[in-house]
């Protein structure tokens, strides 16, 4: 056997029982040959035959190594017509298709032979004959086919034959394809002097080989030009990564290796086989890597380990990689300290001295109540709160609140890591025992007005959520609203109700309640407002004339109220009879809906947000909802119009907000948080929630349908088409909704015309509630330097600067909405950049009055935009101011001067002839001394207007007021003057 490259013998095992040796080539040109005949190697008789017998003759000799060899020679050059044949024995073909014949011979040069008589030749012929069996001595010359004429070539080596030197030629010829089972070769001499030194017959094959841990078997190439594709099989303890494949060429060479096998887990590649990892080593994945030493705190005593076993008291968690050291639970936290504040305690501790070799250490705190000397302690009940939480703490501190006053508690603080759960018996904790202090009760939050009369009122309330002890009594403090707490009355009540008597009829009172325990008074409740009933109608004889005037005034008031009511109802749809859909629904899981003090509950305070949704929103059956068309796009999905049919109710039009498919759990929570908020409100100017669909998909929020869509686009569509009274009616609705929200303690943060919806009766309703999304969702919201998104143009400076969002900042936004409404949807600050807006507002600039804007409304805008937020009016003031404007439409005829707009489109605060010079409406009126009657701007109780009729239009202009017409202003002032004395009269 010979190859064209360096070969090595290798032991290859296909499985445990069948190992063999193969030649492995380090170079990628491995091929081998298989001899079918080698005359040199044959020890015995060759059995070749000569025709005629005196032609070729066999001469036995020895080669240079004294090995016996067979040679045949013929040299009948002295005779004519030579035709001497030498035929080999029958050669079985085996699997060969193409065979090679290698001849080594010497040939005498005719010129070197003196006195040649015959025809001296310097060639001989090579023939072959295919047969399926050995034909014995039978020889028929004509059956043979000629392969080639063989001549001495130039590349020969010299052969020393004693006294003569002959040239040894080597010639190779290809024969094939051979299809029969065997063949003969024959050498024909036609008169040459030739000696056949050796004949080798062979074929080529691709030898068995291991490559990329795959075994490729012996392969005989095809006779044609094409390659033979051979699939390799993986060696023992390995598996296919990609199917291994090679091609066997016609030259018996392996070509193009593709794919490979990889040693199994627990085995590594050594030589051309996969060998098991030694004890103390492991291999956890199949691959070409070597076995690794066991990581710290682990071992293996077996061969072929996939992973190492942890030493005693060490563990490996499910997610730990095999290469990671085994670890153990941490030791207990150290240096626990507790700081008690009434019924709260701050627990603080140090990291454990031993983290067990892991980084994923967290802490958990278990609260146990150990009061009244009754060991063992019992677990704390549900009301105790942990901030941020009781388990999974990454910091070494926790605050525990809402504990019982004057009670013993034990807190067990445990450090945990990824293997703590695997080693319950190895876990250690640190414990601290505390006794809470006396604590005052929490505030009363729910107050109910039970009965009202002219001069008494009966109230009841619920006990505070956390009494922190036995409530000794309640302190009830009340005073007339307009007295502003300068004088007040205090009562004490043992129970949770009280009747206040001796009150003035038809008077507004404010009341606060606080509970008292042995630890003292708790915080007072929010202010609760109530009004006593009006005086009954009676006329005393001596005051009959005065009373007559009063009665007339009252009739006037009622008449005016009716007129205004009809107007407002017509334009803004306040009338319930016209708008049956306005009837409030009262639903929810027993959620207390009381008149008076009710506070907004942030759904974030619920541990489970879906609980909040079902607390405040009713679950609707999706089969009762029909979707008609898409009317808008919300952050979470489409907004559609449709119809809702509830059992035994009339079908109503609704808006349906859907949650798009593929939402995350967080998006679902944020989406539904709007319903949790909206569901807490019940007011004609707040968009009403009909319910939610959470138990089937798509998740939906269903609200009342607002036919005219959002206010900003509605106004832009109907530019200059409404009367001032209509606009004020809408504004009144928005203010009333906002008053309700601020009374509930809800800060909207994104009040803007785009977030107000308008129904077919022009009723405006505040919408767009939510938590984080409120601002994130708004396309107007821009990032501030402090982070967080804020709709700059609508937001008060303190909210932009340091996120101080309050009802006062909502009032600022309301001022902007007021401006948007009066300018029919103009964009506040036009195209100024957000940065310029922030700068201009900070420097005291304010938006100028919109075209034809009543001065009173512009003054309200300026008041809402007071830099000092406490100087801004409250929503309750705004509602009553607008009510008064509606009742006195004449007051709206004085138009704010727009002629003096500075070129930068904003009004300068420092101007002297402008309404913005004055801090408030009253201030401006004061400044023009006896000029226009202050009552003209709202009938807010200013002094009489004696000198007003004498005022010229020029003088009005001086102070930035345009008068609709001298006659009109005089008559409206007269009207207002009369109103100031007698109450409102119709105009």
The footprint of ligand AMP (CB under 6 A) covers 631-632, 634, 639, 655, 687, 703, 705-706, 709-710, 757, 767-768
CA 432 vs CA 21, 362, 367, 369, 885: distances in Å: 74, 18, 10, 12, 65
Closer residue to ligand AMP (CB): 755 or 795:
755
| Interstrand relation of 497-501 and 267-270 (parallel, antiparallel or unpaired) | unpaired
Give the nearer residue to ligand AMP in terms of CB position, either 321 or 632.
Answer: 632
Look up 132 and say whether it is catalytic: no
CB 487 within 8 A of CB 479: yes
Residues 6+ apart with CB under 8 A from 311: 297, 298, 299, 326
- The nearest distance, CB 638 to ligand AMP, in angstroms, is 8
Nearest to 860 by CA among 799, 924, 903, 795: 924
307 vs 657 by CB, closer to ligand AMP: 657
Instruction: Give the span between the Cα atoms of 274 and 265, in whole angstroms.
Output: 10
182 is an annotated ligand-binding site residue: no
Q: Per the omega criterion (within 30 degrees of 0), is the bond before 52 cis?
A: yes
Encoded tokens for 155: 């590349």
Residue of 887, 874, 337 whose CA lies nearest to 558 = 887
Q: Is 613 a known ligand-binding residue? A: no
Which lies closer to ligand AMP via its Cβ, residue 688 or residue 979? 688
Q: Are 740 and 764 in contact (CB under 8 A)?
A: no
Give the residue at shortest CB distance from ligand AMP: 632
Q: How far apart are CA 934 and CA 927, in angstroms?
A: 11
Contact indicator for 325, 294 with CB cutoff of 8 Å: no
Cβ-based nearer residue to ligand AMP, 767 or 859: 767
First CA to last CA distance, the chain: 127
Choosing from 402, 712, 750, 810, the catalytic residue is 750
Q: Is 831 annotated as a binding residue?
A: no
Q: Which is nearer to ligand AMP, 554 or 631 (CB)?
A: 631
Q: Helix axis angle, 875-887 relative to 855-864, nearest 10°?
A: 180
Quote the crossing angle between the two packed helices 724-743 and 875-887, to the nearest 10°.
150
Which three-class secondary structure string do you get for 615-674?
HHCCECCHHHEEEEEEEEECCCCEEEEEEECCCCCCCEEEEEEECCCCCCHHHHHHHHHH
CB 908 within 8 A of CB 960: no
The reply to whether 45 sits in an annotated binding site is no
The candidate with the shortest Cα–Cα distance to 803, out of 844, 749, 870, is 749
Residue 441 or 581 having the CB closest to ligand AMP: 581
Q: What is residue 380's DSSP assignment?
A: P
Cα(677)–Cα(769) distance, integer angstroms: 7
Q: For 274-285, b where at least 16 C-beta lie within 10 A, e where not — what string?
A: bbbbeeebbbbe
582/836 with CB nearer ligand AMP: 582
Structure tokens at 558: 């009622």
Distance in Å, CB of 748 to ligand AMP, minimum:
13
Residue 271 known to bind ligand: no
CB 418 within 8 A of CB 360: yes
- 705 vs 814 by CB, closer to ligand AMP: 705
Minimal distance, residue 613 CB to ligand AMP, in Å: 17
- CB of 756 or CB of 931, closer to ligand AMP: 756
Residues paired with residue 379 on neighbouring β-strands, in sequence order: 368
Q: How far is the CB of 646 from ligand AMP (least distance, A)?
A: 17
Residue 940 labeled ligand binder: no
357 is in an annotated binding site: no
Task: Report, in Å, the least distance between residue 684 CB and ligand AMP.
Answer: 14
Q: Give the helix, strand, coil percentages of the chain, each rounded to 5.
A: 20, 30, 45
Q: Check whether 205 is labelled as a binding-site residue.
A: no
CA–CA gap between residue 232 and residue 245 (Å, rounded): 6
639 labeled part of a ligand binding site: yes
Rounded CA-CA distance 924/501 in Å is 42
In the complex, the smallest distance separating the C-beta of residue 631 from ligand AMP, rounded to whole angstroms, is 5
- What are the C-alpha distances in Å from 320 to residues 136, 213, 300, 317, 418? 78, 31, 17, 5, 9
CB of 681 to ligand AMP, least distance (A): 14
322 annotated to bind ligand: no
Burial degree of 981 (CB within 10 A; 0-12, 13-18, 19+) = exposed
Provide, rounded to whole angstroms, the least separation between the CB of residue 808 and ligand AMP.
25
DSSP-derived letter for residue 443 is: P
Residue in the structure block whose two tokens are 């000198």: 947
What b-and-e string marks burial along 430-467, b requiring 16 or more CB atoms within 10 Å of the CB?
bebebebbebbbbbbbbbbbeeeeebebebbbeebebb
Query: 536: which DSSP letter?
Result: P
- Per the document, the length of the chain is 987
* Pick 84 or 658: Cβ nearer ligand AMP: 658
Could you tell me if 216 and 206 are in contact, meaning their C-beta atoms sit under 8 angstroms apart? yes
CB of 670 to ligand AMP, least distance (A): 12
Nearest-angstrom CA–CA distance, 298 and 315: 9
Q: How many CA atoms lie within 13 A of 259 on its CB side?
A: 18
Whose Cβ is closer to ligand AMP: residue 674's or residue 810's?
674
Please state the residue numbers annotated as binding site.
631-639, 657
Q: List the catalytic residues.
A: 750
Please state the residue numbers annotated as binding site for ATP.
631-639, 657
């Amino acid at each position: 056997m010979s190859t064209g490259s360096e070969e090595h013998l290798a032991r290859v095992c296909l499985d445990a029982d069948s190992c063999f040796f193969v030649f492995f080539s380090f170079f990628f040109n491995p091929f081998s040959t298989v001899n079918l005949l080698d005359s040199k190697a044959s020890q015995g008789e060759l059995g070749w035959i000569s025709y005629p017998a005196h032609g070729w003759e066999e001469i036995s000799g020895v080669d240079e190594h004294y090995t016996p060899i067979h040679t045949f020679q013929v040299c009948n050059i002295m005779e004519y017509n030579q035709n001497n044949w030498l035929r080999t024995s029958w050669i079985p073909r085996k699997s060969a298709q193409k065979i090679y014949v290698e001849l080594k011979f010497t040939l005498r040069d005719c010129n070197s032979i003196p006195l040649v008589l015959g025809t001296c030749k310097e060639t001989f012929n090579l023939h072959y004959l295919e047969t399926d069996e050995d034909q014995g001595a039978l020889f028929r010359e004509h059956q043979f086919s000629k392969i080639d004429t063989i001549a001495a070539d130039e590349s020969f080596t010299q052969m020393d034959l004693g006294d003569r030197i002959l040239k040894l030629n080597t010639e190779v010829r290809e024969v094939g394809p051979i299809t029969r089972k065997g063949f003969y070769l024959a050498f024909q001499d036609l008169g040459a002097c030739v000696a056949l030194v050796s004949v080798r017959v062979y074929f080529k094959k691709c030898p068995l080989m291991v490559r990329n841990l795959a075994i490729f078997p012996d392969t005989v190439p095809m006779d044609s030009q094409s390659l033979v594709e051979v699939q390799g099989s993986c060696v023992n303890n390995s598996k296919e990564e990609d199917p291994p494949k090679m091609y066997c060429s016609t030259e018996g060479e392996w070509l193009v290796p593709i794919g490979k096998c990889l040693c199994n887990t627990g085995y590594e590649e050594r030589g051309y086989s996969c060998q098991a990892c030694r004890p103390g080593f492991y291999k956890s994945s199949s691959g070409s890597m070597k076995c690794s030493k066991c990581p710290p705190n682990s071992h293996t005593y077996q061969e072929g380990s996939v992973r190492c076993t942890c030493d005693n008291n060490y563990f490996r968690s499910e997610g730990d990689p095999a290469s990671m050291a085994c670890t153990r639970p941490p030791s207990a936290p150290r240096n626990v300290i507790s700081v008690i504040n009434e019924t709260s305690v701050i627990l603080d501790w140090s990291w454990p001295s031993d983290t067990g070799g892991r980084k994923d250490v967290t802490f958990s705190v278990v609260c146990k109540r150990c009061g009244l000397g009754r060991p063992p302690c019992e677990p704390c009940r549900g009301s105790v709160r942990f901030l941020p939480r009781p388990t999974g703490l990454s910091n070494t501190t926790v605050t525990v609140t809402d504990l019982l006053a004057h009670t013993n508690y034990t807190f067990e603080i445990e450090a945990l890591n990824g293997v703590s759960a695997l080693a319950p018996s190895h876990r250690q904790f640190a414990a601290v025992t505390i006794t809470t202090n006396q604590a005052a009760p929490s505030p009363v939050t729910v107050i109910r007005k039970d009965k009202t009369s002219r001069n008494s009122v009966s109230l009841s309330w619920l006990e505070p959520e956390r009494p922190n002890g036995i409530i000794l009594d309640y302190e009830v403090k009340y005073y007339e609203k307009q007295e502003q707490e300068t004088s007040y009355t205090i009562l004490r009540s043992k129970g949770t109700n009280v009747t206040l008597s001796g009150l003035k009829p038809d008077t507004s009172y404010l009341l606060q309640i606080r509970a008292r325990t042995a630890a003292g008074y708790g915080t007072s409740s929010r202010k609760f407002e109530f009004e006593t009933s009006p005086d009954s109608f009676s006329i005393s004889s001596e005051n009959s004339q005065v009373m007559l005037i009063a009665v007339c005034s009252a009739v006037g008031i009622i008449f005016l109220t009716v007129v205004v009511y009809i107007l407002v109802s017509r334009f803004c749809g306040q009338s319930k009879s016209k708008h049956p859909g306005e009837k409030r629904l009262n639903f929810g899981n027993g959620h207390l809906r009381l008149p008076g003090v009710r506070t907004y509950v942030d759904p974030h305070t619920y541990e489970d947000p879906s609980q909040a949704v079902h607390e405040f929103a009713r679950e609707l059956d999706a089969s009762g909802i029909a979707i008609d068309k898409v009317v808008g796009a919300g952050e979470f999905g489409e907004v559609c119009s449709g119809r809702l049919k509830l059992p035994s109710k009339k079908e109503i039009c609704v808006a349906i907000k859907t949650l798009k498919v593929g939402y995350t759990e967080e998006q679902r929570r944020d989406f539904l948080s709007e319903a949790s908020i909206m569901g807490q409100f019940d007011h004609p100017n707040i968009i009403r929630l009909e319910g939610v669909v959470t138990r089937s998909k798509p998740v939906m929020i269903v609200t009342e349908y607002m036919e005219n869509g959002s206010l900003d686009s509605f106004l832009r569509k109907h530019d200059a088409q409404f009367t001032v009274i209509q606009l004020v009616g809408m504004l009144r609705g928005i203010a009333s909704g906002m008053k309700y929200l601020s009374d509930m303690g809800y800060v909207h943060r994104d009040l803007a015309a785009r977030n107000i919806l308008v129904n077919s009766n022009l009723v405006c309703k505040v919408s767009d509630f939510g938590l984080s999304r409120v601002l994130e969702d708004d396309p107007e919201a821009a990032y501030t330097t402090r982070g967080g998104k804020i709709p700059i143009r609508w937001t008060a400076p303190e909210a932009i600067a340091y996120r101080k969002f309050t009802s006062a900042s909502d009032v600022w936004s309301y001022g902007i909405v007021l401006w948007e409404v009066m300018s029919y949807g103009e964009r506040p600050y036009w195209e100024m950049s957000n940065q310029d807006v922030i700068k201009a507002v900070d420097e005291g600039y304010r938006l100028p009055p919109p075209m034809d804007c009543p001065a009173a409304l512009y003054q309200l805008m300026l008041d809402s935009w007071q830099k000092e937020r406490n100087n801004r009016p409250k929503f309750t003031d705004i509602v009553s101011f607008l009510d008064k404007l509606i009742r006195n439409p004449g007051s709206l005829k004085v138009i704010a001067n727009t002629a003096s707009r500075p070129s930068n489109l904003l009004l300068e605060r420092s101007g002297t002839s402008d309404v913005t010079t004055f801090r408030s409406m009253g201030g401006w009126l004061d400044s023009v001394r006896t000029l226009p009657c202050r009552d003209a701007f709202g009938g807010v109780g200013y002094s009489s207007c004696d000198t007003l009729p004498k005022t010229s239009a020029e003088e009005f202009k001086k102070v930035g007021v345009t008068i609709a017409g001298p006659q009109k202003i005089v008559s409206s002032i007269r009207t207002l003057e009369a109103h100031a004395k007698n109450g409102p009269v119709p105009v």
